[in-house]
Amino acid sequence: MAQAHAASGEPIDIGPLGAALAHQVTTAIMKSAQLELVRLVLPTGKSMREHRVAGEITVQCIEGLIEFATSAGRRQLGPGQLIHLQGGELHSLLALADSTALLTICLPAAPVADASG
């Protein structure tokens, strides 16, 4: 079953989940041609293996404590803190406490077809 995404103009609650965090999973909030928003739900000890994303990203910690690792080193993100990465940068995440975060991905624009042909 496909997940329903938020509609244009629809308010989205990204506040802390608190005690409900234990019963939630990572979910896509919305996706358009050039933007994707995902609520990451990371129980203590949960990790996202090292990977790359084609477009630029931000990760904003909503609650908990997240270790964000890149080639430049490891950084801890607490509630309200945000980190930005250029597209293609290798990175990984580790939840040091029960955590949620807002992941924003800027998707590369699709090439425009040449209609002059």
Q: Tokens representing 44?
A: 């203590």
8 A C-beta contact, residue 83 and residue 57: no
Please list the alpha-helical segments (H only) found in 10-111. Answer: none
97 compared with 33, residue with greater pLDDT: 97
> Are 16 and 73 spatial neighbours (Cβ–Cβ below 8 Å)?
no
Half-sphere exposure of 74 (CA within 13 A, CB side): 10
The predicted-structure confidence for 68-115, as pLDDT tens digits, reads as follows: 999 999 999 999 999 999 999 999 999 999 999 999 999 887 776 666
Q: pLDDT tens across 34-45, in order?
A: 999 999 999 999
Instruction: List the domains of the chain with CATH numbers.
Output: 40-106 (2.60.120.10)
